[in-house]
Amino acid sequence: MRVVEIDKNICTGCRECAKVCPAYAIEGEQGEPQTINTDKCVMCGQCVQKCKSYVSIVTHGYEAYDKVRKERGIPESVKEPLFAAHNVTHIDEVKKALADPTKVVMASAAPAVRTGLAEEFGYKLGTLSNGKMAAAFRALGFDYIYDVNFAADLTIMEEGSELIERVTTGKGKLPMFTSCCPAWVTFLERNYPELSDHLSSCKSPQQMQGAVQKTYGAELRGLKKKDIFNVSVMPCTCKEFECSREEMNASGERDIDVVITTRELAWLIKDAGIDFKSLKEEEFDKPLGEFTGAGEIFGATGGVMEAALRTGYELITGKEIPDVKIPSVRGGEGFRTADIKVGDLTLKVGVVSGLKHVVQVLEDVKAGKLNHFHFIEVMTCPVGCVSGGGQPKLLMDTDKETAYYNRTHTTYKMDEELPIRKSHDNPSIKKIYKEFLKNPLGEKSHHLLHTHYVKGPAKTVK
């Protein structure tokens, strides 16, 4: 499946993309057009963020520019430079669904999208755009506006329960790795298939969201799942690959129909002539749009770990966690560890940010050097999803540090300002378990919210 490509007619062979590729998938001589080794590529899109070779109206003329724009299926309203490294766009599929009166089109956006989207409209790097994003979805014509933050809370209920089961009963391999990042999962499946049992069996929040929207969500709205068209907006290019995996159809239909990036959502908004700055803030639809601070921090490295610990502490001890802030698992790129006291148990946890740092961790797991660890979070992109390949492109390298810091700061600030900061306290999470799922790790949860991993390249349906 084509997700990330390099246009040989535009590429100048500077090899800046190769320097940031965590899978060493970009090949070619200096000064010559580069190619992507699809057997190695994990589709993270960091090359898309880094690429400096472009075609523009000003430099190359409208005819040359328009040719590339049409080849990529980019809206005519787009006038910005088009770079050699790019992700394959699915905007036309979204526009077609929105125009189809037989389709009920649902939108859901990942935590990190709201920290980047406003940058496309001239706002300061890292500006939060939660309410305006919801308003923009409605202005575009989406029928229901949900939030992947809800599924992040759902993920914690399942993943936290799974971790507790592995730690307390001995069932399942330790350390348990997170499975939220599809680029990381793809890397492990292809390169360390013998360690696939260490992955949590949980689907990513995106895929959980899609499954519940076409089952529980359909029941709530009196809809047929075949009429629902789920559009997911992600900071990540690899999510396009993830939704096409053949096992991602727990609802009986394809759970997520199409994925677009933060950049592509901005293109859609501009193409529709919507004045983003003048939009009045709106709310997401409930119950599948209600979330907690724990769900929001999924967008930053260490966020999944912290959210899991907030809930895990209370599930294990039966007591309220003394402080929901766990700064020891927060931080930048690399591998960091922490000992977390949970009642009589000391959890040994690790956080890997930036895929290049995971190889030594995996080698140590193979060698038995990390058997004393319980839980390890892995994110492919430099500081987590806020730095994803589908986020607004940072044309100046000097802007990168500021953008990453601001987006991360916005994420934690939103967490601090939300009235509920633990996933298991989310009223809508309680509601879905009471009315539909029954129990974490139960039969229905297992079918809809968990999956299996392959030893080698995953198969897709398109």
Query: Which tens digits make up the pLDDT trace of 75-111?
Result: 999 999 999 999 999 999 999 999 999 999 999 999 9
**Known catalytic membership, residue 200:** yes
**Which residues are registered as beta bridge partners of 82?**
55
| Strand ranges (E), 54-135 | 54-55, 82-83, 85-87, 104-109
Find the catalytic residue in 41, 47, 180, 202: 180
Question: Could you give the CA distance from residue 287 to residue 289 in angstroms, rounded to a whole number?
Answer: 5
Supply the pLDDT for residue 179: 97
Supply the pLDDT for residue 91: 97
Greater confidence (304 vs 459) lies with 304
**Known catalytic membership, residue 247:** yes
Question: Could you give the CA distance from residue 7 to residue 66 in angstroms, rounded to a whole number?
Answer: 15
Biggest alpha carbon distance in the chain? 69
Has residue 405 been placed in a domain?
A: no
Find the catalytic residue in 50, 132, 239, 270: 239
Q: Taking 90 as the threshold, does the pLDDT of residue 332 lie above it?
A: no
Whichever domain contains 19, its CATH number is 3.30.70.20
Has residue 65 been placed in a domain?
A: yes
Counting the structural domains of the chain, the total is 1
Provide the percentage of residues in the chain whose pLDDT is more than 90: 95
Identify whether the C-beta of residue 416 lies closer than 8 Å to the C-beta of residue 263: no
Find the catalytic residue in 242, 290, 306, 377: 242
Supply the pLDDT for residue 394: 92
Query: Which tens digits make up the pLDDT trace of 155-182?
Result: 999 999 999 999 999 889 999 999 999 9
Supply the pLDDT for residue 456: 75
Instruction: List the strands of the sheet with 104-109, edge to edge.
Output: 144-147, 104-109, 228-234, 258-261
Give the β-pairing of 228-234 and 104-109: parallel
Q: Taking 90 as the threshold, does the pLDDT of residue 454 lie above it?
A: no
Mean pLDDT of the chain: 96
**Known catalytic membership, residue 244:** no
Of the candidates 183, 216, 212, 204, the residue with the CA atom closest to the CA atom of residue 358: 183
**Known catalytic membership, residue 393:** no
**Known catalytic membership, residue 325:** no
**Known catalytic membership, residue 445:** no
Find the catalytic residue in 108, 129, 200, 423: 200
Find the catalytic residue in 159, 264, 306, 377: 159
Q: How confident is the model at residue 461 (pLDDT cuts 50, 70, 90)?
A: confident
Supply the pLDDT for residue 398: 86
Identify whether the C-beta of residue 233 lies closer than 8 Å to the C-beta of residue 107: yes
3-state secondary structure of 319: coil
Has residue 84 been placed in a domain?
A: yes
Has residue 157 been placed in a domain?
A: no
Q: Taking 90 as the threshold, does the pLDDT of residue 460 lie above it?
A: no
Question: Could you give the CA distance from residue 370 to residue 362 in angstroms, rounded to a whole number?
Answer: 9
Has residue 331 been placed in a domain?
A: no
pTM: 0.96
Q: Taking 90 as the threshold, does the pLDDT of residue 285 lie above it?
A: yes
CA dihedral 396, 397, 401, 404 (to 10 degrees): 70
Find the catalytic residue in 247, 325, 413, 444: 247
Per-residue pLDDT averaged across 415-442, rounded?
97
Contacts of 96 (CB under 8 A, 6+ apart): none
Helix (H), strand (E) at residue 230? strand 228-234
Find the catalytic residue in 158, 162, 240, 290: 162
**Known catalytic membership, residue 242:** yes
CA dihedral 349, 355, 359, 360 (to 10 degrees): -50
Per-residue pLDDT averaged across 258-278, rounded?
98
Has residue 401 been placed in a domain?
A: no
Q: Taking 70 as the threshold, does the pLDDT of residue 119 lie above it?
A: yes
Has residue 411 been placed in a domain?
A: no
Has residue 54 been placed in a domain?
A: yes
Query: Which tens digits make up the pLDDT trace of 41-76?
Result: 999 999 999 999 999 999 999 999 999 999 999 999
**Known catalytic membership, residue 162:** yes
Q: How confident is the model at residue 462 (pLDDT cuts 50, 70, 90)?
A: low
Domain that holds residue 5: 1-88
